[in-house]
Amino acid sequence: MAKRFTDTKKWIKPWFGELTLKQKILWLFICDNCDAAGIADFSPKFFSMSVGFTVTRNMLDEYFKGRITWIDENKFFIPSFIEFQYGQLSEACKPHKPIIAELEKKGLLSVENGKGVLRVFKGFAKGINTLEEKEKEKEQEKETKGGLGENDPFASFWAVYPKQRIGNKDKARAAFLRALKRSGLKAEQITAKAQEYAQSEEVARGYAKGAEAWLNDDRFLRNYSPARTQAESLKQARAEGTAKIRDIFGGQK
């Protein structure tokens, strides 16, 4: 059974996030199905059977333009696979030698000073796997996080929000940024309200809302009563029960 590295941050990368569910499944299958050199044999029937929906060559070209390049009619190469899995290919590294040999045979690699260098040829997207593109992706990721970088105040909000129905983190982050802009409040103020909400009677009774909905509904503008102790809750429940019995059967108040 082959084991490979996987990029856990792909889920927050703009290009991956914009894919549909089927497109994401197809990309994951491609990365798992290619050989150790990042080369895959394309069979419409096999691909379709494996992912559970019809797959054509045109679909691959449309969905993953610039991320795969065709070697021949039924074989394609994933350029980014090499750098991600192996870093810099080197003839001095024994496990790299068969990879280098396979890529050289396909005309995808040249060896310069003992180092493997991927060739840019017809079919590769301009700028793919370059430092310029990587920097662009980093900037796009930063934008999705609101340009907050490492000192992200959303992290403080996320840490204190009640965990019962916290919801999707990325959607909550977007709602948090919108709330800051819409309300004019500081991040610390919304976070303080989230902490107050987490310790409220509403949450203690199991009525917590998801973080995204809580932010979208401007619930950070409300005041929340702190959760009562067990004895206080029992006392109120008895009083409410007694009141209902009197309403039904009558009697002195």
What would the pLDDT profile of 3-28 be if each residue is shown by its tens digit? 788 888 888 888 888 899 999 999 99
CA 176 to CA 156: how far, in whole Å?
11
Q: pLDDT averaged over the chain?
A: 80
- What is this structure's pTM? 0.46
Residue 57 has pLDDT above 70, yes or no: yes
Taking the C-alpha atoms of residue 225 and residue 183, their distance in angstroms, rounded to an integer, is 22
143-148 average pLDDT score: 47
CA distances from 47 to 34, 132, 171, 186 (A): 12, 33, 32, 50
Question: Does 127 score more than 80 pLDDT?
Answer: no
pLDDT of residue 88: 80
Residue 227 or 134, more confident:
227
The predicted structure's pLDDT at residue 178: 94
Chain centroid, CA 116 distance in Å:
32
Angle (nearest 5°) at CA 130 between 127 and 134: 105
The more confident residue out of 112 and 163 is 163
User: Picking from 45-49, 84-88, 157-161, which range would have the lowest pLDDT averaged per residue?
Assistant: 84-88
- Tokens coding 180: 């800051």
Start-to-end CA span in the chain (Å):
75
Q: How far is CA 99 from the centre of its chain?
A: 30
Length of the chain: 253
Longest dimension (CA), the chain: 98
Q: What percent of the chain has pLDDT over 70?
A: 77
pLDDT tens-digit readout, 38-50: 899 999 999 999 9
Whether 108 contacts 97, CB under 8 Å = no
pLDDT tens profile 195-248: 999 999 888 878 888 999 999 999 999 999 888 665 555 566 677 777 777 777
| The pLDDT of residue 144 | 47
Count CA within 13 A, CB hemisphere, residue 217.
9
pLDDT tier at 114, thresholds 50, 70, 90? low
**SS3 of 203, please?**
helix
Per-residue pLDDT band at 150 (split at 50, 70, 90): very low
Out of 54-58, 94-98, 125-129, least confident range: 125-129
CB-based contact 156:211 (threshold 8 Å): no
Q: Give yes or no for a contact between 31 and 76, defined as CB atoms under 8 angstroms apart.
A: no
